[in-house]
Amino acid sequence: MISIVIPTYNEKENIEKLIEKIFDACRNIETEVVVVDDNSPDGTGQVAEKLKEKYNLHVLIRKNKTGLSSAVLDGFKIAKGDIFGVMDADLSHPPDAIQVMLKPIIDGKADFVIGSRYAKGGNIENWSVKRKIVSKGATFLAKPLTRIDDPMSGFFFLKKEIINHVNLNPKGYKIGLEILVKGRYRNVIELPYTFRDRKHGKSKLNFKEYKNYLLHLLMLYSYKKSIFHQFFKFCIVGGIGVLVNICVLYSLVEFLYLWYMFAAVVAFVVAVSSNFVLNKIWTFKEKSKGIKVAGQYSKFFIVCIIGLLINLGVLYILVQYGNMWYVLAQLVAIGVATLNNFVGSKFWVFK
């Protein structure tokens, strides 16, 4: 059986039409719909209650408006199917697409299917420029968390088992993203659909939800923390590298009486080398088996040289054209160069 969970808040004009369309689209599949309403002032809950006579429908009316994600999770708790679906109530998600989305799950080809506006063939109708930008921006911020093109989607189907015993965070709007990051699925696929803007009622996505989303992202990032952890370690190694650099420079000039410019080059090489070793064994915890260390070291050297050029370039631009104090400019420049070095190290040198 499939259970389709629909969170509702003030969707009186939409709910009946949607339920009718869902059951029409699912004629040949055993289907239940779970409406989770937060005591909508417009009486959506009562409208839904009446439909129970006609359809295999459950209505959960909660006392307070506690958000979309938590509504979906409460719906999952009372759903009896082994496949769960989630749809908005406002007809933005086409019931006609349900069968197509269920097929890969029923055929055993996927255990998580996401309706995608941004996959090839997907589309959005009638969105304001502002909404498009917000959506794209939010999607961009989630990029490192998933390979999916539309991780913000509120339209998806999954095998119940992929969230069994998974501790899902009930805050905010993005329950789909939460499942993408924490769910125990093996195959996730995206299928395109056209998102239609609602005809009745208003979107509940407000400023508070933007803030919730950013907090949610932080939590997901720390959940996935390995990359941040690595970045943190990479910065510590970078700090050690600076100390090594200064010590070598000082020693060569003071004790060996070398020219400071020549000493600086030697100091750079020594610091890059010690950073290489520390990053290899600590930051990225690499075993050297089968890896050609000399080649890897050369790559790391190249990354560091590029980092140095970026550092100097940013410093020059900020001071010359931005009129920034050179110390502040150098801090910014170090930040940019560190990012370059980290990305180069993680995805090229130690990949």
Q: Which residues bind ligand GDD (CB under 6 A)?
A: 7-9, 11, 36-38, 65, 67-68, 71, 88-90, 92, 135, 152, 154, 173, 203-205
For residue 92, state whether it binds Mn ion (rule: CB under 5 A). yes
Q: Give min distance, CB of 90 to Mn ion, in A.
A: 4
Q: What span, in angstroms and rounded, lies between the C-alpha atoms of 203 and 169?
A: 22
Quote the radius of gyration of the chain (alpha carbons, Å). Answer: 27
The gap between the terminal CA atoms of the chain, to the nearest Å, is 43
Stretch that binds Mn ion, among 85-93, 232-240, 242-250, 341-349 (CB under 5 A): 85-93
Q: Which two tokens mark 250?
A: 């000082």
Q: CA-CA-CA-CA torsion for 318, 322, 328, 329, nearest 10 degrees?
A: 0
Q: Give min distance, CB of 106 to ligand GDD, in A.
A: 24
For residue 90, state whether it binds Mn ion (rule: CB under 5 A). yes
For residue 135, state whether it binds Mn ion (rule: CB under 5 A). no
Of the pair 44, 230, the CB lying nearest Mn ion is at 44
Of the pair 87, 267, the CB lying nearest ligand GDD is at 87
Paired strand residues for 2: 31, 83
Residue nearest to ligand GDD (CB): 154
Q: Which residues contact 215 (CB under 8 A, 6 or more apart)?
A: 171, 172
Q: Give min distance, CB of 169 to ligand GDD, in A.
A: 15
Of the pair 122, 154, the CB lying nearest ligand GDD is at 154
Of the pair 149, 329, the CB lying nearest ligand GDD is at 149
Task: Assign 60 to helix, strand or coil.
Answer: strand
Q: What span, in angstroms and rounded, lies between the C-alpha atoms of 117 and 123?
A: 5
Question: Which of Mn ion, ligand GDD, none lies near 152, with the C-beta cut-off 5 to 8 A by kind?
Answer: ligand GDD
Q: Which residues contact 192 (CB under 8 A, 6 or more apart)?
A: 115, 116, 117, 119, 120, 121, 122, 123
Q: Which two tokens mark 329?
A: 């400019």
The residues binding Mn ion (CB under 5 A) are 88, 90, 92, 198
